[in-house]
Structure formats: C-alpha cells, structure tokens
Amino acid sequence: MSKLQRACYLWLLLNLLVAIPTTASATLSSPVKPTKRTEAQLTNRLQRLDLPLPTTVTDAFTQRKIEDYLGPGGRNTERMLGRANLYFPVFEYYLAKHELPASLKYLAVAESMLVPGAVSSARAAGLWQLMPATAREMGLRVDGTVDERLDIHRSTEAAVLMLKALHGEFTDWNLVLAAYNAGGGRVRRAIRAAGSDMYDEVKAYLPGETQRYVAAYLAAAYAVNYYEDHGLIPHELPGTESVRVHHRISLAKLARECNIRPATLRRINPMFVQAYIPASATGYRLRVPAGRKSAVQRFLWGRPNLVELPAEENLELATTLAQERGFDPVRMLLGVRGDRLIYVTPVWSLEQLRERLLLEYFDDYRSFASL
C-alpha cells in the first residue's frame, strides 16, 4: 500500500470517528417533534371529551391556541397543569352541586391559566376573571381589604351560579360562553341585530375576542387532556388545607407563630389585599400549607379541643348518619360519658362551677379536634 493510499485511509477513518459521536449526540439531544394533527383528528379528539357544545375544529385560531399551549417551551402550561391538580376538584364539586357539566372547568384555564391572583387590564380578577361589579352582584366582597374574586371557593361558586343563570336564559352553550365573556346584554343586542338566536348567525355581531372565546375554551380542554402526547409533564405543587378564621389577625403574625413562610402565606391567600384577615361573624377561609393546619388551629383557638364545621357541611345527612351509628353528642363534645355528668344547681358562681367540673369530673377528657 502506497503512502498516498495510507493517507487516504487515515483521513477517512478520522472523519468517521468524528462524525459518529456528533450524529449520535444530535439524535439523543434533539427533541422529537409531535405529529401535526389535521382538523379532523383534532375534532375527533375533542369529541371524546364530552364537552357541552359542538367541537368541530375548522378555524386556524383554535389550532394556533392549541399550539400555544402544547408547542415548544411549554413551561407555563406545565405549571398550569400542576395547578389543575389542585383546583379542578374544587371546580368539579361546585359544578356537580349546581348540576352543570364538569367539563366547564376548562373555562378557567382559558380565562386565567389557573392563576388565582390573575388581574387583567380591564380589572377582571381571579381564576374566573370576574369583574368587580359582577362579583358584587354575585354576593362577593370586593374592596380594599378583601377581594373574594381571588378566593378559590367563593369565586368558583359565583362563576358556576353565573353560568347556570346564563344557561337558563340562552340554553345554547355557545351563547352562554359568549355571554360569560362579553356580558348578557351584549349577547342580547347581538341576537336582536342578527334577527336570530342561532350562534353561527349571532357570532358576527359579537366583539372579536368573544368570537374567538369558544375556540379558546376548546383549545384549553384539548391541552389539559392531551398534553402527554406533546411531552409535557405537570409541575407538582405542594398541597394546601383550609381553616376558617373569624377574628382579625395579620398574615405576618400568623406565619411567624405557626412556622410558615410569610411570602408563602400571602401567595396562597391573595384575597387578603392588605395582608390581614378582618373580623367576620361567618369567617374567612384561610389556606395554609399542607401539614400546618393543626398548628394554625391551635394558635387561633388557643387549645386543640374545639370543633370546626365546614361551611358546606350537609347537616341533615350528617344527623341521619349519626343516628344510624349511635353517635353520642355529649360524649363527643365533652369527652365524657353521659352517666359521668353531675347535674346539680350550683350554689357558687358559674366560673367556679366550670373550673370544678373541669378539674374533678372530666378526668377522662380527650382531645378530638383532629377527628
């Protein structure tokens, strides 16, 4: 073999050694692009979701919105999916309570990306983007101290009741969603201008944003259900628990006394605009990090032996179940059997009687706040 041939072989060998790892590296690091789906495929997938309105994908806007959710750089969508794991059970509860389709929960995704503290340039706020006047009409408190549009439970029930009322008036879910976005008055005027209550004819008389609103809802529903096909992973968020608070207290003091980061407590309770909870006979729902509820209760109550009933408790059902199971309210509330109680007319002050009973007769008292 001549020197020239040897040189050629060496040159080829060196090129192969350099090219092979480069190619392998490119293959391993390059993301796999999801297959672009046709309108028919998108429509077929949406129809599987049992949405309350027709799901034909025929416009470029819907496809573009889906791409915005699921395209490259989907970190915002992954965070939204993490929040969905926390908030969707709340949405589903109130939708079921008021007999509305569970799939309306996707509307909050289109509205706010499930950011509880979201505020728009038009002053709509919260998960459901309620306007101040609308929220007050629905019974929410909106002022410089408390903004219940930012409370997950209160705002969700208000939005659900609003959707229910709109459906009672318009019946067509396309018109209902349009009315939720633009207002019932705007949709009524559009219906009069169109001379019809058929959405396809009314749509042209609605604002541009409202014309695209149904498509935004469809895109949100698609993204939440088919994100895995696009390589997205929900961002896991720490859970929270709720405590009802009746007296005035600052979030900073509560955080300090209960070993909670002040910034965390403010972030998960954006409804308290001035960072304190005002006094209230009915109480406000305070969200606390999972695992800190008992510490907060102990601090608020001063002792671990008080009972808190959820505001949505079905007392009639609870009473029936208690009777069936032989529940003894005296034993539960006082921690003592009924036959251990002594009923006598005290000859001393009420305070003295209370102290004597606690010291002498309630010796088998048990804490029950955690039951």
- Is residue 224 within 8 A of residue 109, CB to CB? The reply is yes
- Binning pLDDT at 50, 70 and 90, where does residue 196 land? very high
Listed in sequence order, the residues at least 6 apart from 237 whose beta carbon sits closer than 8 Å to its beta carbon are 82, 83, 85, 86
pLDDT at site 363: 40
| pLDDT above 90: residue 32 | no
Residue 31 has pLDDT above 50, yes or no: no
For the ranges 210-214, 258-262, 346-350, 367-371, the lowest mean pLDDT is seen at 367-371
Counting every residue written for the chain, the total comes to: 371
Q: If you write DSSP's letter for every residue of 231-278 in order, what string do you get?
A: T--PPP---EEEEEE-S-EEHHHHHHHTT--HHHHHHT-TTBTTSEEP
The mean predicted confidence, pLDDT, of the chain is 81
Name the CATH code of domain 39-230 (choices 1.10.530.10, 3.90.1010.10, 3.40.190.10, 1.10.150.130): 1.10.530.10
Active site residue 111: yes
Contact (CB, 8 A) for 287 and 159 = no
pLDDT digit string, tens, across residues 45-103: 888 888 998 776 667 888 899 999 998 878 999 999 999 999 999 999 999 999 999 99
Q: How far apart are CA 12 and CA 362, in angstroms?
A: 94
> What are the structural domain ranges in the chain?
39-230, 240-301, 325-361
Question: In this predicted model, what pLDDT tens digit does every residue of 206-235 receive, in sequence order?
Answer: 999 999 999 999 999 999 999 999 999 999
Lowest mean pLDDT among 63-72, 95-104, 137-146, 195-204: 63-72
Q: What's the predicted TM-score (pTM) here? A: 0.73
Work out the pLDDT band at 335, boundaries 50, 70, 90: low
Is the Cβ–Cβ distance between 199 and 175 less than 8 Å?
A: yes
In angstroms, the Cα distances linking 157 to 120, 136, 319, 342, 367 are 20, 13, 25, 47, 34
Q: Any idea of the CA torsion for 318, 322, 324, 325, to the nearest 10 degrees?
A: 130
Task: Give percent of the chain above pLDDT 70.
Answer: 70
Q: Given pLDDT bands bounded at 50, 70 and 90, which one contains residue 351?
A: low
Question: Sign of dihedral through CA atoms 46, 52, 56, 60?
Answer: negative
| 292 residue type, one letter | R
In the set 78, 111, 169, 316, the catalytic residue is: 111
